[in-house]
Chain A
Amino acid sequence: MELERLSAVELGRRIAAGELKCSEVVRYFLDRSIERNAALNALIEIDEEALNAAEEIDRRSSRESRRSPLEGVPIVIKDILCMEGKRTTCASRMLENFTAPYTATAVKRLLDGGVLPIGRANMDEFAMGGSTETSYFGVTRNPWDLSRTPGGSSGGSAAALAAGMAPLAVGTDTGGSVRQPSAYCGVVGLKPTYGRISRYGLVAFASSLDQVGPMAHYVEDVAALLQLMAGPDGRDSTSLPAAVDDYLGALGKPLDGLRVGVISEHVEHPDVAPEVRQAVQRAITHLTDLGAALEQVHLALTRYAVPTYYLVAPSEASSNLSRYDGVHYGYRDRPAEGVESPLVSMMSRTRSHGFGDEVKRRVMLGTFALSAGYYDAYYKKALKVRRMIAEEMRRAFERVDVLVGPVAPTPAFSLGENADDPVRMYLQDQFTVAANLAGIPALAVPAGFNDQGLPLAVQLQGAPLSEATLLNVAYHLQQNRFFVPRVAEWK
């Protein structure tokens, strides 16, 4: 039985119905993970403890009601969400041996729903990167082509899904870190509205942009995961008080009257590869067939999104990462001999050796942008442009329900291809960062494969709290066989 072909919701149903034993499901995915991780390095840690919880579920009488449709289904969690008693490394030497003493709200809600974490997914260090090449624990490979990146920063989560190591994954998205790896690996990945899922226990990269995001092969699985994790949290002042929609219940509702906007600036952008452009065109055709009305939308300010993002995110990061100074926890280096202040030396060496180059680059960038004399010209101006971008988006959603466009300009690039050119790497984010700056939900939807067998994808974006609509549109595309969930196999 190839369990990796089933949706998580279907696995959950079969476990609940007694058609599958939960412990067998967990054992199956653990074995697959162990076997495939050798080639992929998608998981930093594989956790067999989930078997205990699985056996408990198996022992339970069938009369007891299920905690959620995903009860008993294995999941991999990006190694940036705290889980009590588990190592939470952020793929950094700085936290190589850091054991979290508490559990992130999003993870707690998964555990409460009976979802079973079986591994900690690899990522770019502190989620800074778009290729999972900056991980202290080594690069993750793309299951569709081992010479290529799975994308990043949630590359481990996406690769694990694509390889069928787990039916569910959680990533985080600060500038595209869920959507771009989902696109590169051919899975569905959602960045929810800012504040929809609590950030408590999500190790901060850029607090005003970070969001936890559900990932899976099937749209209904992403909806079910969001259903579990979403909602207000008293521990996160920026979490939204609004009640949670019925995401699963919304799937399949007719799309009559749906207004779809095509982002001209993105689709026609010269960086966009022809097959990516064709994928977007194909999606437009499908949506028109499903009854959607089409409109061209101009987002003139989106060309400022990348520079704005690369001021806001590093500025916040430079402050968020100040806590890693070797004093209280995490990596600590020795002070140099004979220095005037061993304390300053210890802190400085800890940060020099505990962080990788990309993290240090961004911390320096942010420190500079916030410095006296530069604040107004950089950070303050970036906040202004950010508000303008959000306003432009808001106006667009007065006219359309969903914006369609590319996720990334190209399919997965080769490992090392952009390693020496940070700006080219940053431009991978040019179509995704605006959603983070504006705080709106955005979904990466698979769109088949190119000639080389690499996954293609399109991006759907919506007004704040329109996740139910985005997921429903994607569900129709899935039902309409615009894409067919597929697991990668390789020799």
Chain B
Amino acid sequence: MTLDACQLVVGLEVHVQLRTQTKLFCGCPTIFGAPANTQVCPVCLGLPGALPVLNRRAVELAVQTGLALNCAIPARTKWDRKNYFYPDLPKGYQISQFDLPICGPGWLEFPDPDAPEHTLRVRLVRAHLEEDAGKSMHDEKSGRGDSRIDLNRAGTPLLEIVTEPDLRSPQAAKAFLTELRLLLTYLDVSDCNMQEGSLRVDANVNLHIDTPSGKVATPIVEVKNLNSFRAVERALAYEQQRQWQQWQRDGKQLGEVPKQTRGWDENQAVTVPQREKEESSDYRYFPDPDLVPIAIDAELIERCRACLGERPLELRLRLQQEYGLTAYDADVIVAQGRALVEYFEMVVAKGASAKRASSWLQQDVLRTLNEQNLTIEQFPIDADKLGELIAAVEKGELENSRARDVFQYYLGHPQAGLEQARAALGIVQVDDRELTELCQKLLDEHPQIVAQAKAGDLKGLGALIGAAKRRNPNVDPRKVRSICQHLIEQQG
């Protein structure tokens, strides 16, 4: 039997920190990176007598996300306590949702990494709201094994999105997460910053193996400490190999060993068994008596639905259908976020062809954004101006390389218009008679190139074009080439 006989099966649990101004049950701010224990109050410190009060904004963001993920939204949802002891959990329980999550079953469709023109669909089990715990920091340097706890994060709203085990490859898992993050970014419900912990992923992994006696499943392993999508991809690929080898060694199947938790070690590129938290597996969930159930009425759902806008999947299709972009080009633009899509559409509206606009965006604009570390909102050339510039190229009023000069000029002169740029760069139209004279002169100066061309070797023409541009930067290289070719042919 070979590795081909085994199918990787993956389900993900994604914790998304919702972008609210204040915490889920108190008025403390949720800003990342503040000095330890400065964004706390009696409620999120879990002091005796303090009571939670729901931040309704978190409910709206959760409903928005749920709608975007095609989830069923129940009319009523409630809060439950998940009881366990841990130092960074100040109340000894986490306020979460057990049997009535705010988002019921749904699904997410995303581009198939193996065939970008197709999509894959992953079913979602549920998504529920809960409060985040604090952070334990183990102070190794003190030598006394002291632990410090920062409760700034405690009480921050999290949406835990749980998928069915529908993913079948590390690449698919990465593609799913990429699409999920993009969708959340479009919805503007989360920062989705894995470094800051506003997006966290755990994976449940096992193998389904075809054996002569039928299909068997290997024990499910939960993989944690996945700090990037690349880490998810690598860890899953590693687990696939490891579980396969493990199964060949011991033949253990699902249910024969307890569920194991392993952590991804980025440096060693391996997963290692993790010490379990000191907690019981029985969380003794029960309804939180400090909070009342939430009614989600049609009005709230409609208000949230109105905030959704076009989702990435819909946008990609529209860009292909409406603008004739390829699936690849549409994906590149959509992946940059809603603002860039809007920019693109405005450029086209100004008279640029979609194809040329897309190529300018992907090459010139994105390169500049990357180099200067800007967002499209901060980009100095507004869409109207770029549209006008590309339109001039479309109409043959401006040669492409000169348009790039204008683009560069615009970057340094955000206030300048096209006329000013033309004047500053000395851009004038070269008429055909003038151009023919220049070409004839160049051919006369380079008889060996003419000779080569006559012998069928046109390589030398490039040098002529370069020479022409040096003498007059406004010449159109394509015209130079065709006129030169024409003149050589006339010479016979």
Residues of chain A whose beta carbon lies under 8 Å from any beta carbon of chain B: 81-82, 88, 90, 95, 98, 100-102, 104, 199-204, 206-208, 234-238, 315-316, 318-319, 321-325, 327-329, 341, 343-344, 347, 367, 370-372, 375, 379
Contact = CB atoms under 8 A, between A and B. Distances in A.
A204 B51 CA distance: 9
A102 B45 CA distance: 12
B284 A371 contact: yes
Contacts of A370: 83, 284-286
Interface string B43-73: 0011111111110000000000000000000
B42 interface: yes
A322 B49 contact: no
Contacts of B290: 204, 207, 237-238
A359 to B, nearest CB: 14
Given A237-B54, A370-B284, A319 B149 contact: no
Report which residue of A104, A315, A341, A343 has the largest number of chain B beta carbons within 10 angstroms of its beta carbon: A343
B91 A237 contact: no
Contacts of A202: 49
13 contacts: A81-B49, A104-B49, A234-B53, A235-B51, A236-B53, A237-B290, A238-B292, A323-B91, A325-B87, A325-B92, A327-B149, A328-B45, A344-B278
B90 interface: yes
Interface string B270-284: 000000001000101
Given A82-B48, A375-B286, 4 more contacts: A200-B49, A237-B51, A238-B291, A372-B282
Contacts of A315: 286
B284 A102 contact: no
B238 interface: no
A379 B54 CA distance: 25
Nearest to B79: A237
B53 A102 contact: no
A95 B48 contact: yes
Given A238-B292, A322-B93, A100 B49 contact: yes
A323 B286 contact: no
Contacts of B149: 327-328
B85 A322 contact: yes
Which of A203, A327, A370, A372 has the most B CB atoms < 10 Å from its CB?
A327
Contacts of A316: 286, 289
A194 to B, nearest CB: 10
B292 A343 contact: no
Nearest to A367: B284
B46 A323 contact: yes
A118 to B, nearest CB: 21
A379 B285 CA distance: 11
Contacts of B52: 237
Given A237-B292, A319-B284, A375-B286, A201 B49 contact: yes
Given A237-B290, A237-B292, A319-B92, A325 B85 contact: yes
Interface of A is mostly: loop
A104 B91 CA distance: 18
B48 A200 contact: no
A90 B47 CA distance: 13
Nearest to A201: B49
Given A88-B48, A319-B286, A329-B47, A347 B85 contact: yes
B81 interface: yes
A341 B54 contact: no
A104 B45 CA distance: 16
Name, among A201, A236, A322, A344, the residue most crowded by chain B CB atoms within 10 Å (CB to CB): A322
A344 B290 CA distance: 28
Given A237-B54, A322-B83, A322-B91, A98 B284 contact: no
Contacts of A82: 47-49
B53 A235 contact: yes
A328 B90 contact: yes
Contacts of B93: 319, 322
Contacts of B47: 82, 100-102, 329
Given A237-B54, A347-B85, A323 B289 contact: no
B442 to A, nearest CB: 83
B268 to A, nearest CB: 26
Contacts of A372: 282, 284
A199 B290 CA distance: 9
Interface residues of B, number: 30
A375 B83 CA distance: 14
Nearest to A368: B284
B49 A207 contact: no
A236 B51 contact: yes
A238 B53 CA distance: 9
A234 B56 CA distance: 13
A327 B286 CA distance: 24
A81 B93 CA distance: 22
B360 to A, nearest CB: 54
Nearest to B283: A372
Given A328-B45, A367-B284, A200 B51 contact: yes
A203 B286 contact: no
A181 B93 CA distance: 33
A371 B48 contact: no
Nearest to A342: B145
A324 B91 CA distance: 8
Interface string B83-124: 101010011110000000000000000000000000000000
Contact of A323 (B92, B147, B292): B92
Contacts of A321: 92
Contacts of B53: 234-237
Contacts of A236: 51, 53
B87 A327 contact: yes
Nearest to A348: B85
A150 to B, nearest CB: 24
A202 B50 CA distance: 8
Contacts of A324: 92
Interface in B128-180: 147, 149
B49 to A, nearest CB: 4
B88 to A, nearest CB: 9
Interface string B287-324: 00111100000000000000000000000000000000
Contacts of A100: 47-49
Contacts of B147: 343
Contacts of B286: 315-316, 319, 370, 375, 379
Nearest to A208: B289
Interface string B381-421: 00000000000000000000000000000000000000000
Contacts of A95: 48
A247 B371 CA distance: 72
Nearest to B82: A319
Contacts of B291: 237-238
A90 B48 CA distance: 10
Contacts of A327: 87, 90, 149
Contacts of A322: 83, 85, 91-93
Contacts of B91: 322-323
Nearest to B290: A207
Contacts of B54: 237
Task: Tell me which of A203, A323, A324 has the highest count of chain B C-beta atoms within 10 A of its own C-beta.
Answer: A323
Leading 8 A-B pairs by shortest Cβ distance: A322-B92, A208-B289, A207-B289, A370-B284, A203-B48, A201-B49, A203-B49, A372-B282
A160 to B, nearest CB: 22
A207 B93 CA distance: 14
A222 to B, nearest CB: 23
Contacts of A201: 49-50
Given A238-B290, A328-B45, A379-B286, A200 B278 contact: no
Nearest to A321: B92
Contact of B50 (A81, A200, A347, A375): A200
A319 B83 contact: yes
B81 A341 contact: no
A271 B49 CA distance: 36
A95 B47 CA distance: 11
A323 B91 CA distance: 4
